[in-house]
Amino acid sequence: TGRQFDTIILDPPKFAHSQGDIERATRGYKELNRLAFLLLRPGGYLATFSCSGLVSAELFQKVVFSALADSGRDG
């Protein structure tokens, strides 16, 4: 549709319920964030969250930065 947004809030449900889910969860977080970056207007704000306690803050940050790089957008 070509729509873009000034602010996007991503607060998905828990993606990782066990250690075995972490890889799948990080792929899901990456794709969700990549798509959000594509919908974000330049200069906009993305607030993104993970309630999966098994996905560390450090890993989540790496996933989000990787999603940004894959989106081809600037941070």
Residue numbers annotated as active site: 51
| CA gap 36, 7 in Å, rounded | 10
- What six digits make up the tokens of 72? 């081809």
Q: Which residues neighbour 37 within 8 Å (Cβ) at sequence distance 6 or greater?
A: 46, 67, 68, 71, 73
